[in-house]
Structure 1
């Protein structure tokens, strides 16, 4: 079969473990006759990590050259089209998609989590851009409902990271057991007061359960300072574990008994590895996942101001909570492969 080139456009090369996991899954699912060109914030690191060609996502000349060479343009997963964190970001992605459409590339919006779209202008641009896209898959019911309201056809399937092949983490089994993984990130809802409450709850939880706390920064720029703060209180009963390889990041949860996480992909990875999960939702996408999988937790905006109530809830889930059943996980992984099937339509 003739080799063709596909541009993979996402939040890649920015040190975000969830987005790197989406890229790793996309590359895993691409048909063998498609050669990827990855738009990256760190092209050298992306090329080294995945063995693919990458170019600077902010270099206009490089991006235009890639568009001229390619036959396919892929929005590669995640919450690319949302304006809650930035009004500029969705304009960047929709602008590239619109340019690819104008240059007659075959276009696909792959595994999208659309929204929130709070600004009328952003919403209208997103609607027009999705309407001009050849193939669309989304990862959640909120995105599906939005496209349905716009009368734009799509496929719905669980986040593709469910199907990411995980890898073992050297040295993980040498750390004390049992282990509990914590993933917190900077966010306006995680105020200093709330972080202090969670810190006290975590200290009490660790004392009660005698667990070893793994602090997992998914994105160093947003997570590492919080992990260091928690580590300063937990001391030798904890360790910060920074991993760049998304397959290993998922593999961590094989050796973890429970995960407490804000980040969507920390909960997906943990649940996929049969780990009990407790969510701290800062975003509708996290709340949707918690609702769909019956994951206990709190919305950060409604976090109890009593650390004892939180630590008691964690202890109860650690002692009596259940992970997803293997049959549930298999069903989610099987359905996540719908994202792979639509790539074969290209």
Structure 2
């Protein structure tokens, strides 16, 4: 009989892509698993196993993209549980790629749970059908927002679906010293605004890239002059750097803007939020981090998940920058600054509620782990 000190758990998500939001999700998820199963062997299926192993040396990292059914089977055969998520991975054209791995696991009788997964848009017949059929066999289905539950229900999933919250809400901040800001070129003694930009995508479908950059540059210039601030662009993934430079190049007050260049962990970026007087941005996890640290923030939504976050936290959200001319856009930024103190307490209460909802995923996971552990011990006797 093989001696075991803990369960072997597989985690499949959009990891290894050097996206700080996805890495925040993985960090929160792994911390949660360690609390429940401190001696577990955890295997992360990663886009870049070397990067994942370096960032999380306590886990094993293996590739999954481009790996055949035959080659993936030896790893899957070692697992006691497969966790799908978290993060927004079940959407058109992408869901099928993850579920190909899940189906091989299910053929071997491996239990599956989803961990605060994000779902949608899901209009492709193939992806919708695969999601419905695969998750119908899951032990537990948890999603991170109401929109994801609605998408699953519309796809025909009849299983109970538990709405929790993004695993990043479980993250604990690390210190981001003032000295690091000085090294990034941000002077002491000035107000500081965090700005997160990404590719236009659905947020600005009717603007070309240059027009999109010019519009966001107006926000940067407005904040510089309105509140006498420096603007620090916070790239959440590599391509954000290019768009940050594009926006900065159109700012008339470009000398008061900086782009964060260091290689920081998600928990350190979370700690950075303490230094901001205001945060304006598009990336979901940039906004989550601001909310967690009590920094006033204005979402510039590009997807339903950002609208859902704004609704849950009771903050205003613009309906996409392509539909906003300069005046209304800057007026909303101006109003956020004026009302920041009045909104602070209500927002803090809602953030605390969402953090508690994020712990709901942990409770579901613990129940499943307890059940598997008990069954494993019974079989070992």
* Aligned pairs (5 A) from 1:28-47: 28-30=31-33, 31=36, 32-47=38-53
Tell me what 1:328 maps to: 350
Distance 2:151 2:66 in 1: 32
1:249 and 1:63 mapped to 2: Cα distance? 34
What is the distance in 2 between the residues matched to 1:309 and 1:147?
Answer: 35
* Partner Cα distance (1:2, 1:26) in 2: 20
Deviation of 1:47 (Å):
1.0
**Superposed, which structure 2 residues align to 1:17-166 within 5 Å?**
17-30=20-33, 31=36, 32-51=38-57, 52-60=59-67, 63-83=72-92, 87=93, 89-148=94-153, 150-166=157-173
User: By how many angstroms is 1:328 displaced?
Assistant: 3.1
One of 186, 197, 202 as aligned partner of 1:184:
197
Shift of 1:335: 2.0
Q: CA deviation at 1:79?
A: 1.0
Match of 2:314 in 1: 294
Instruction: Report the alpha carbon displacement of residue 144 of structure 1 after superposing the two structures with TM.
Output: 2.2
Confirm or deny that 1:209 pairs with 2:227: yes
Structure having the higher Rg: 2
Alignment match, 2:304: 284
RMSD of aligned alpha carbons:
2.0
For the residues of structure 1 that align with 2:356 and 2:99, how far apart are their CA atoms? 30
Kept after mapping to 2: 8 A contact 1:173/1:255:
no
CA shift at 1:125, angstroms? 1.3
The correspondence of residues 192-271 of structure 1 with structure 2, limited to 5 A, is 192=209, 193-221=211-239, 223-232=240-249, 233=251, 234-242=253-261, 243-271=263-291
Q: Is the 8 A contact 2:47 2:64 kept in 1?
A: yes
Residue 300 of structure 1, CA deviation: 1.7
Q: Which deviates the most, 91-100 or 241-250?
A: 241-250
Q: State the Cα distance separating 1:248 from its structure 2 match.
A: 1.0
Cross-structure match for 2:175:
168
| CA gap 1:107/1:15 in 2 versus in 1, 3 angstroms | same
Distance across 1 between alignment mates of 2:323 and 2:8? 47
Q: Which whole-Å CA distance do the structure 1 matches of 2:260 and 2:309 have between them?
A: 25
DSSP-derived class of the 1:212 partner: strand
**Structure 2 unpaired stretches of 5+:** 370-381
Q: Is the 2:307–2:317 Cα contact (8 Å) retained in structure 1? A: no
* Deviations, residues 106-144 of structure 1 (Å, cap 9, x unaligned): 211111111110112211111111101111111111222
Q: Residue 361 of structure 2 corresponds to which residue in structure 1?
A: 339
Shift of 1:59: 5.0
SS of alignment partner, residue 282 of structure 1: coil
Q: TM-score, normalised by structure 2?
A: 0.84
Q: How far apart are the structure 1 equivalents of 2:359 and 2:19?
A: 23
Is the contact made by 2:11 and 2:43 (CA closer than 8 Å) also made in structure 1?
yes
Which whole-Å deviations, capped at 9, do the CAs of 1:271-324 have from their partners, x for residues lacking one?
01101110111111111111222222312265322x233223212212322335
Whether the 8 Å contact between 1:147 and 1:153 is mirrored in structure 2 is no
Cα distance in 1 for partners of 2:353, 2:319 equals 27
Distance 1:158 1:68 in 2: 30
Once the two structures are overlaid, the 10-residue window that deviates more, 191-200 or 252-261, is 191-200
The separation in 2 between residues aligned to 1:292 and 1:302, in whole angstroms, is: 24
Kept in 1, the 8 Å contact 2:121–2:151? The answer is no
Q: How many pairs align?
A: 340
Look up the SS of the partner of 1:113 in the other structure: strand
